[in-house]
Amino acid sequence: MNRNDSWLAKIEQRSQNMMTLLVLVMAVLLIQLWLLSIALEEFMASQSGLAIPTFAASCACLVLNLWLLKYLYDIDRKEDIQ
Amino acid sequence: MSKDATPKWRKDFPVAWGADNYVTRREFTKFLVLVSGATAVGNGYFVLRRQDHKAHPYASQLIARTEELQPGQVKLFRYPTPEDTALLVRLEDGTFAAYTQKCTHLSCPVHFAAKRSRLECPCHNGAFDARTGAVLEGPPPRPLPRITLRIVDGNILAEGVIGT
């Protein structure tokens, strides 16, 4: 493998990482939207049993998304150093 | 370079690459995380509002006399506004319950099925418990809004709506 092939492989690897990250963030966001719809239905029905659990789960999803975002910044920082 | 020397593709696409307004996957991912934060805040709003489920107060209104209805019978009335139809039901044990008549699925009018002691929606076969208003079957996503009642000297008064 020459130097050019190695560089192309690296670029492809980064692109795949980026796409995986994007899909994960989208999946977590979809879960959050589902949780929000549950909380809304509960509120409309004048019930509140699931308000706190859905909020806690949504916050956990946000933390996961922030962690993924941090990973994205780490990738960018690594690229800057190289 | 003379003006004629400009290649045709440059004339067709005069916008420089750097000035093009496209969104990279990185920017889109950052935006999604922002939406994620907004969604969590939205969930927090319902936590803050969870104590606000008291009956919505409306003017007290006489809707019937207790002797008007026998167990298993129903009376139609309008509450809280003349546009809102509602049902007063006397259950088999003699107690009263009242609900707005709009199905929580697609707002079809529900009717009382005395034999099964439940409120049924003929549009999509939804059914609600006549005692609590809870969904028993079908597509309705929420219980029927319940009208709070007070009985004074044989007069049945409507005093508010829970679950609008």
Name the burial class of residue B74, with classes exposed (0-12), middle (13-18) and buried (19+) by CB atoms within 10 angstroms of its CB: middle
- Does A76 contact chain B (CB < 8 Å)? yes
Q: Give the residue from B23, B21, B39 showing the smallest Cα distance to A25.
A: B39
- Does A40 contact chain B (CB < 8 Å)? yes
| A42–B46 C-beta distance less than 8 A | yes
**Residues A68/A21, Cβ–Cβ less than 8 Å:** yes
- Span A5-20, mean pLDDT? 84
Q: What is the tens place of the pLDDT at every residue in B25-42?
A: 888 999 999 999 999 999
Residues in A closer than 8 angstroms to B163, CB to CB, are: 44-46
Please give the pLDDT value at position A72: 86
Q: What is the tens place of the pLDDT at every residue in B114-158?
A: 888 899 999 999 999 999 999 999 999 888 999 999 999 999 999
Q: List Cβ neighbours of B85 (8 Å cut-off, separation of 6 or more).
A: B76, B77, B78, B100, B101, B102, B109
